[in-house]
Amino acid sequence: RRWHMSLGTFFRDYVYIPLGGSRCKWPRMVLNTFVVWALTGLWHGASWNFVLWGLLFAGLLLLEKWVLPLDKIPGILRRVYVLFAVCMSFVLFNAVDMTQAVGDFAGLFGFNGLPVVSTETVYYLKSYGILFLIGFVAATPFVRDSLANLSGRETAGKILAVLEPLAMAAILLLCTAYLVDGSFNPFLYFRF
């Protein structure tokens, strides 16, 4: 049996459980959760925005555990909630400092004198519209269900066996083309 360690298992085994984990009274468990996620944020970088990024996820986990369990929310709203939360966390994670994070959040919602729709918005919608459409369709169960239905048929299953690798290669080429076309964007962790 192979043994491996991920960031999550490290924090669970060496921080969360030694602090008492969830086998303690709820105020202590809340504290344990916030400590682990604050340390997870610090692991990503020595800046307040990373700590707040971790604390944001701690808050979301506790909210989902006690206030609004995700299994009680309809599927489409769950997806919207998760995508919104993750995208907002990326803004916080990407910021150089808290001033930039606040400015970026304000700009996202039309504050700071930035319009919600501008010529840049139209440009990006035209440039990435096809990817948005593909992502929207791929995020629904339509593609999965259709492929499962078709693969059950003998002729369609053989055709899909040939088309699937071709489709994956086309997606790889499309993603590579968009990456090459993009402007210079150094890897996030090079900021250290």
Please identify every residue annotated as catalytic.
Answer: 44
Separation between Cα atoms, residue 82 and residue 95, nearest integer Å = 20
Torsion, CA 63, CA 68, CA 74, CA 80, rounded to 10: -30
Separation between Cα atoms, residue 28 and residue 57, nearest integer Å = 17
Structure tokens at 170: 């086309």
Structure tokens at 54: 């971790």
Place of tokens 């790889």: 172
Separation between Cα atoms, residue 52 and residue 61, nearest integer Å = 14
Look at the chain and count its residues: 192
127-136 contacts at long range (C-beta below 8 A, 24 or more positions apart): 128/178, 131/174, 131/178
